[in-house]
Chains A and B, each alone.
Chain A
Amino acid sequence: MTVKRSSWALPYLIFLILFVALPLVMIAVYAFRNPQTGAFTLENFAKFFSTPHDLNTFLYSIQVAFINTLLCLLIAYPAAWILSKSSFNRSKITVMLFILPMWINMLIRTLATVALFDFLKMPLGEGALYFGMVYNFLPFMIYPIYNSLEKLDNSYVEAAQDLGATPWKVFWKVTVPLSLPGVWSGVLMVFMPTISTFAIAELLTLNKVKLFGTTIQENINNGFWNYGSALALIMLLIIGLTTLISDEDSARDSEKGGLI
Chain B
Amino acid sequence: MNKDIVISLQHLSKSYDGKQVLDDINLDIREGEFVTLLGPSGCGKTTTLRLIAGFLAPDGGKILLDGKDISGVPPYRRPFNTVFQRYALFPHLDVYDNIAFGLKLQKVPTDEIDKRVRRILKMVSMTDYESRDVESLSGGQQQRVAIARALVNRPRVLLLDEPLAALDLKMRKDMQIELKEMHAQLGITFIYVTHDQEEALTLSDTIVVMNEGRILQAGDPVSIYNEPQNAFVADFIGESNILNGRMIEDRRVEFLGHEFDCVDEGFGENVPVDVVIRPEDVYIMHKLEGSQFSGTVKSCTFKGVHYEMFVDTDKGYELMIQDYNAFEVGSTVGLLIRPNDIQVMRKERVRNSFDAEIVDAGHISLFGSEIECAAAAAFAPGDKVRAMVDFDKVELVDHQEDGQFAGEVHFLLYKGDHYHLTVLTEDGDHVWVDTDDVWDKGDLVGVNFASENIKLEAVK
Q: How far is the CA of A162 from the CA of B153 in the complex (A)?
A: 11
Instruction: Name B74's contact: one of A153, A156, A161, A173 (CB within 8 Å).
Output: A161
Chain B residues with CB below 8 A from A174, complex form: 90
Cβ B55 vs Cβ A164 within 8 A: no
Cβ A159 vs Cβ B106 within 8 A: no
Q: How far is the CA of A85 from the CA of B102 in the complex (A)?
A: 25
Cβ B75 vs Cβ A169 within 8 A: no
Q: How far is the CA of A158 from the CA of B88 in the complex (A)?
A: 9
Chain A residues with CB below 8 A from B150, complex form: 162-163
Query: Is the CB of B91 closer than 8 A to any CB of chain A?
Result: yes
Cβ B101 vs Cβ A163 within 8 A: yes
Q: Give min CB distance, A156 to chain B, whole Å.
A: 6
Chain B residues with CB below 8 A from A164, complex form: 76-77, 102, 105-106, 153
Interface size on A, residues (CB 8 A): 19
B-contact 0/1 string along A179-195, CB 8 Å cutoff: 01000000000000000
Would you list which residues of chain A between 187 and 223 have a CB under 8 Å from chain B? none
Q: How far is the CA of A155 from the CA of B89 in the complex (A)?
A: 9
Q: How far is the CA of A158 from the CA of B80 in the complex (A)?
A: 12
Chain A residues with CB below 8 A from B75, complex form: 158, 161-162
Q: Give min CB distance, B249 to chain A, whole Å.
A: 56
Cβ A163 vs Cβ B92 within 8 A: no
Cβ A162 vs Cβ B82 within 8 A: yes
Query: Is the CB of B149 closer than 8 A to any CB of chain A?
Result: yes
Q: How far is the CA of A160 from the CA of B81 in the complex (A)?
A: 10
Max chain A C-beta neighbours (<10 A), residue from B82, B84, B89, B101: B101
Q: Give min CB distance, A76 to chain B, whole Å.
A: 21
Query: Is the CB of A52 closer than 8 A to any CB of chain B?
Result: no
Interface size on B, residues (CB 8 A): 24
Q: Give min CB distance, B200 to chain A, whole Å.
A: 23
Cβ A165 vs Cβ B105 within 8 A: yes
Instruction: Name A153's contact: one of B80, B88, B153 (CB within 8 Å).
Output: B88
Cβ B81 vs Cβ A162 within 8 A: yes
Cβ A160 vs Cβ B92 within 8 A: no
Query: Is the CB of B86 closer than 8 A to any CB of chain A?
Result: yes
Q: Give min CB distance, B139 to chain A, whole Å.
A: 16
A-contact 0/1 string along B62-93, CB 8 Å cutoff: 00000000000011110011101010111110
Chain A residues with CB below 8 A from B86, complex form: 153, 155
Q: How far is the CA of A55 from the CA of B91 in the complex (A)?
A: 43
Q: How far is the CA of A161 from the CA of B84 in the complex (A)?
A: 12
Cβ B76 vs Cβ A166 within 8 A: yes
A-contact 0/1 string along B21-33, CB 8 Å cutoff: 0000000000000
Chain A residues with CB below 8 A from B101, complex form: 160, 163, 165, 173
Instruction: Name A162's contact: one of B53, B89, B92, B106 (CB within 8 Å).
Output: B53
Chain A residues with CB below 8 A from B90, complex form: 156, 159-160, 174, 177-178
Max chain A C-beta neighbours (<10 A), residue from B53, B75, B150: B75
Assuming the contacts A155-B84, A155-B86, A158-B55, asked whether A165 and B91 have C-beta atoms less than 8 A apart, the reply is: no
Chain B residue nearest to A169 (CB atoms) is B105
Q: How far is the CA of A159 from the CA of B150 in the complex (A)?
A: 9
Q: Give min CB distance, A250 to chain B, whole Å.
A: 11
Chain B residue nearest to A256 (CB atoms) is B91
Chain B residue nearest to A158 (CB atoms) is B55
Q: Give min CB distance, A182 to chain B, whole Å.
A: 13
Cβ B105 vs Cβ A156 within 8 A: no
Cβ B84 vs Cβ A158 within 8 A: yes
Instruction: Name B105's contact: one of A153, A155, A163, A253 (CB within 8 Å).
Output: A163
Chain B residue nearest to A252 (CB atoms) is B133
Q: How far is the CA of A173 from the CA of B97 in the complex (A)?
A: 11
Cβ A155 vs Cβ B88 within 8 A: yes
Q: How far is the CA of A173 from the CA of B86 in the complex (A)?
A: 20
Chain A residues with CB below 8 A from B153, complex form: 163-164
Q: Give min CB distance, A87 to chain B, whole Å.
A: 14
Cβ B105 vs Cβ A162 within 8 A: no
Q: How far is the CA of A161 from the CA of B80 in the complex (A)?
A: 11
Chain B residues with CB below 8 A from A253, complex form: 91-92
Chain B residues with CB below 8 A from A177, complex form: 90, 92
List 4 tightest A-B contacts by C-beta distance, closest first: A163-B102, A155-B88, A159-B88, A161-B75
Given contacts A162-B81, A178-B90, 10 further A-B contacts (CB under 8 A): A159-B89, A161-B74, A161-B75, A162-B82, A163-B76, A163-B153, A165-B105, A166-B76, A174-B90, A180-B92
13 A/B residue pairs, CB under 8 Å, sorted by A: A155-B86, A156-B88, A156-B90, A158-B53, A159-B82, A160-B90, A162-B75, A162-B76, A162-B150, A164-B102, A164-B153, A166-B76, A180-B92
